[in-house]
A and B are shown apart, each in its own frame.
Chain A
Amino acid sequence: MNRSEVLERFNPQKDNLLGILHGLQNGNPNNYLTESDLKAVAEYLNITFSHVFGVVTYYTMFSLKQRGKYIIRICNSPVCNMKRSLSLADEIRDLLGIGVGETTGDMLFTLEYTECLGRCDVAPSIMVAEDVYGNVTRKSLASIIKKYK
């Protein structure tokens, strides 16, 4: 969906700001918001650019940097941690050659840590794009990632 299609879905009301930003970011193949996106939103909602910039930089899910098509989020909460979620980052480095905060050369994956995903019952847990996986092991990790390639 391009920018004007996203904007058309929302009335120009301030309470739609987060929704519009989600829409624009999801519509971008590189999962981020550009400066011209921010300017267009400011104009559409009749608010200042600095207001939009302030909001985008406040919430952790928005990015001003290009990211991969799929974001891999490793849960960093104590429960997942007890089940060794942090070592999954090492496994991903082996599999994809990227560390936390990095993107693969083909712009397919970006690796991030996230606060609790709320799947402590099946820890360790990761989220790829909008899909959540539990009881992740080295073996299952490889097959999960394969699905997105």
Chain B
Amino acid sequence: MKIRRGGIRMSNKTCLICQGTGCVSAGSREIHASLEKEIEQLGLSKDVKVKRTGCHGFCEQGPLVVVEPEGLFYAGVKVDDVPDIARSLSPQGEPLEEKPLYHDSATGNPITHYHDISFYNKQQRTVLQNCGNIDPEEIGDYLATGGYQSLRKALFEMSPGQIVDEVKRSGLRGLGGAGFPTWIKWEACQRAPGDEKYVICNADEGDPGAFQDRSILEGDPHSVLKGMIIAGYAIGARKGYVYVRAEYPLAIKRLEIAIDQARKKGFIGKSILDSNFSFDIEIFQGAGAFVCGEETALLASIEGKRGMPRPRPPFPAQSGLWGKPTLISNVKTYANIRWIVNKGADWFAGIGTEGCKGTAIFSLTGKIANSGIVEVPMGITLREIIYGIGGGIPGGKPFKAVQTGGPSGGCLPAELLDTPVDFDSLKAAGSMMGSGGMVVVDEDTCIVDLARYFVDFATKESCGECAPCRLGTNQMLDILNDIVEGKGEMEDIDILESLGMGIKKGSLCGLGQTAPNPVLTTLKYFREEYEEHIIEKKCRAKVCKDLIHFIIMPDRCTGCHICTKVCPVNAISGDPKQIHEIDQELCIKCGLCFEKCPPKFGAIEKNYGSKVMED
């Protein structure tokens, strides 16, 4: 944007500095402080604005700095780079050409502009539109994007019935994992008698590998609050809760600020925008219980009880918090409401597939070149996400599997890379969308061990109320432990399958009903790895400790002594400058020596078999 000031043409630039958790942990606060100082020293403060924003999504490349209006993109910015960036912002300055530019993961070429980066240009960022572009702690920024207009429209131009109808026609389905049609809940709550009703936002995001809800709350909290206020108007509620897990302190802080600012502006509280509708929102902080993400457990938790699920029906829409009709939806579901109200159901229904409308948001992580938060239209294939946006596996290694849906989902193999990503296709493949975790694994991950991790997780997080989940998952874990320790038998595979099916059918809530999925899908698609562990006592990824050993190659060991120092159990012997040896009886196979042996020697090898084979 060029503007005229005092007859002189000047460019007015804005530096957006990501303050999401990922970038903050990489040092973006220091970058922000240092850039502000440099710009002041160069006398550019009038023309260059430095702004803190929420997450840009490309967290792995942090700290990120974006310069608007040009859309210049600087990644992995270090404090040392700041003077160069500051100088480039002066009217005579030129965009930087080398570091700290982002380098394409496939070609290695530097890329200057945000919109040329494949991680971004293949996405459709609707819900995430504001994340990274506004300061989440400044309601003015949100208002400048047209924020809260949809609230005005909803309150003054639409009846509650029209809003529910719009949500129905949009085809929006709950983005917490199960994909239940959102309008059914809205309509049930609206029709429920009584004037004491509640709206709850489920932000108890606990799936290992998922963090998109956190990013939205940290980057654009008002979009979620507004969805809740509109929901409150539509169903006739006066009170809302955001249930956030306590592990997300930054999200909680930003929500507190957002609620406070929205209240001061009259968007939350009594007689919103001078209408006769009043609605208040409170934050409720969890305390470390995964099962509280299940809606009835979440209600119990707010009521000050142990967060344990109860049988449904009655559904929360009939009898929820304190026995009153309650609407519970995920963060992303509420964040979509502004678009449905603003742009209409037809616009929303134009995105996605026949049965799944709108966009899906994933946390793309694991062995992937570009990890971060990704928003795509429903129906795009796994391949497009992993290779097109994610840039494939680093180091050109082969893809092994993608785990979607966390502990409720499954692992899909390379043959299924062309599966469309939507609720129904992923479910048909044996996995599920879940809350949006997408963990890519390569040949260095043992599939049996990964499945074992998720079952272990389920046993720890099971609330213990129903026997199939409490006892069944523990039985599965015992069997899987035997298999990874080389003590498995072939009949274990049949037992795992029948146990898994029993737990799915017999458990009370979603946690138990889906807990066997990681095992069942891996048995379906990676059965040979289970069989190898059982018959050959071999872990092809060389992960399972009881099926591998470490050995020092005498021809490469220079006796540098590094391994003896790091070994936590003193299993390595050898005088300095002499060839060292590992005592296999003492070795706990932690792998520290293998990691610390300098690559120029590479003297330690990781081999199959629990012990060194005698000649």
Question: CA–CA, A96 to B502, complex, Å?
Answer: 46
Task: Tell me the A13-56 residues at the B interface (CB within 8 Å).
Answer: 14-19, 21-22, 45, 47, 51, 54-55
Question: CA–CA, A136 to B233, complex, Å?
Answer: 45
Say whether A118 contacts B247, CB under 8 Å. Answer: yes
Among A16, A90, A114, A134, which residue has the most Cβ atoms of chain B within 10 A?
Answer: A134
Chain B residues with CB under 8 Å of A81's CB are 453
Contact of B247 among A18, A117, A120 (CB under 8 A): A117
Nearest-CB residue, chain B, relative to A93? B568
CB within 8 Å for A82 and B306 given contacts A18-B284, A118-B205, A120-B439? no
Say whether B59 contacts A121, CB under 8 Å. Answer: yes
Say whether A58 contacts B211, CB under 8 Å. Answer: no
1/0 contact trace for B267-287 toward A, CB 8 Å? 000000000000000001111
10 A-B pairs whose Cβ atoms sit less than 8 Å apart in the complex:
A15-B304, A22-B246, A54-B306, A59-B286, A61-B246, A87-B592, A120-B365, A121-B22, A122-B60, A135-B25
Question: CA–CA, A60 to B460, complex, Å?
Answer: 10
Q: Tell me, yes or no, whether B161 is within 8 Å of chain A by CB.
A: no
Q: Tell me, yes or no, whether B303 is within 8 Å of chain A by CB.
A: yes
B292 to chain A, nearest CB (A): 9
Chain B residues with CB under 8 Å of A82's CB are 366-367, 441, 444-445
Question: CA–CA, A117 to B246, complex, Å?
Answer: 10
B288 to chain A, nearest CB (A): 4
1/0 contact trace for B346-389 toward A, CB 8 Å? 00000000000000000101110001110000000000000000
10 closest A-B pairs (Cβ-Cβ)?
A: A121-B59, A17-B304, A59-B287, A134-B25, A118-B211, A60-B288, A77-B208, A61-B288, A14-B304, A116-B208
Chain B residues with CB under 8 Å of A14's CB are 303-304
Q: Tell me, yes or no, whether A74 is within 8 Å of chain B by CB.
A: no
Q: Tell me, yes or no, whether A8 is within 8 Å of chain B by CB.
A: no
Nearest-CB residue, chain A, relative to B438? A120
Say whether B26 contacts A122, CB under 8 Å. Answer: yes
Contact of B210 among A22, A51, A118, A125 (CB under 8 A): A118
Q: How many residues of B contact A (CB 8 A)?
A: 61
Question: CA–CA, A45 to B595, complex, Å?
Answer: 54
Nearest-CB residue, chain A, relative to B251? A118
Among A51, A77, A90, which residue has the most Cβ atoms of chain B within 10 A?
Answer: A77
Q: Tell me, yes or no, whether A97 is within 8 Å of chain B by CB.
A: no
Chain B residues with CB under 8 Å of A123's CB are 365
Task: Tell me the B79-126 residues at the A interface (CB within 8 Å).
Answer: none
Interface of A toward B, CB cutoff 8 Å: 14-19, 21-22, 45, 47, 51, 54-55, 58-62, 77-79, 81-82, 84, 87, 90, 93, 114-123, 125, 127, 130, 132-135
Nearest-CB residue, chain A, relative to B568? A90
Chain A residues with CB under 8 Å of B461's CB are 115
Q: Tell me, yes or no, whether B72 is within 8 Å of chain A by CB.
A: no
Q: Tell me, yes or no, whether B182 is within 8 Å of chain A by CB.
A: no
Chain B residues with CB under 8 Å of A93's CB are 568
Say whether A18 contacts B287, CB under 8 Å. Answer: yes
Q: Tell me, yes or no, whether B417 is within 8 Å of chain A by CB.
A: no
Chain A residues with CB under 8 Å of B127's CB are none
Say whether B26 contacts A59, CB under 8 Å. Answer: no
Task: Tell me the B584-603 residues at the A interface (CB within 8 Å).
Answer: 590-592, 595
Q: Tell me, yes or no, whether B207 is within 8 Å of chain A by CB.
A: yes
Say whether B209 contacts A58, CB under 8 Å. Answer: no
Say whether A121 contacts B211, CB under 8 Å. Answer: yes
1/0 contact trace for B136-170 toward A, CB 8 Å? 00000000000000000000000000000000000
Nearest-CB residue, chain B, relative to A116? B208
Nearest-CB residue, chain A, relative to B60? A121
B123 to chain A, nearest CB (A): 15
Say whether A119 contacts B21, CB under 8 Å. Answer: yes
Say whether A62 contacts B365, CB under 8 Å. Answer: no
Say whether A120 contacts B62, CB under 8 Å. Answer: no
Chain A residues with CB under 8 Å of B371's CB are 120-121
CB within 8 Å for A59 and B289 given contacts A90-B590, A121-B59? yes
B77 to chain A, nearest CB (A): 14
Chain B residues with CB under 8 Å of A116's CB are 206-211
Chain A residues with CB under 8 Å of B284's CB are 15, 18-19
Question: CA–CA, A79 to B288, complex, Å?
Answer: 19
Say whether B592 contacts A90, CB under 8 Å. Answer: yes
Say whether B22 contacts A134, CB under 8 Å. Answer: yes
Question: CA–CA, A59 to B250, complex, Å?
Answer: 21
Say whether A18 contacts B439, CB under 8 Å. Answer: no
Q: A60-B287, A118-B211 are in contact. List 14 more A-B contacts (CB 8 A).
A: A17-B304, A18-B287, A22-B287, A55-B304, A58-B306, A60-B289, A78-B450, A79-B209, A79-B366, A90-B590, A121-B372, A122-B22, A132-B25, A134-B22
Chain A residues with CB under 8 Å of B305's CB are 51, 55
Say whether A115 contacts B290, CB under 8 Å. Answer: yes
Chain B residues with CB under 8 Å of A19's CB are 284-285
B56 to chain A, nearest CB (A): 11
Nearest-CB residue, chain B, relative to A123? B365
Question: CA–CA, A17 to B372, complex, Å?
Answer: 36
Question: CA–CA, A116 to B437, complex, Å?
Answer: 11
Question: CA–CA, A96 to B208, complex, Å?
Answer: 28
Question: CA–CA, A87 to B594, complex, Å?
Answer: 12
B1 to chain A, nearest CB (A): 31
Nearest-CB residue, chain A, relative to B62? A122
Q: Tell me, yes or no, whether B307 is within 8 Å of chain A by CB.
A: yes
1/0 contact trace for B398-431 toward A, CB 8 Å? 0000010000000000000000000000000000
Q: Tell me, yes or no, whether B315 is within 8 Å of chain A by CB.
A: no
Chain B residues with CB under 8 Å of A90's CB are 568, 590, 592
Say whether B304 contacts A45, CB under 8 Å. Answer: yes
Question: CA–CA, A80 to B59, complex, Å?
Answer: 15
Say whether A115 contacts B211, CB under 8 Å. Answer: no
Chain B residues with CB under 8 Å of A59's CB are 286-289, 307
Nearest-CB residue, chain A, relative to B291? A58
Question: CA–CA, A93 to B589, complex, Å?
Answer: 17
A81 to chain B, nearest CB (A): 7
A65 to chain B, nearest CB (A): 15
Contact of A79 among B206, B301, B365 (CB under 8 A): B365
Q: Tell me, yes or no, whether B214 is within 8 Å of chain A by CB.
A: yes
1/0 contact trace for B197-222 toward A, CB 8 Å? 00000000111111100100000000
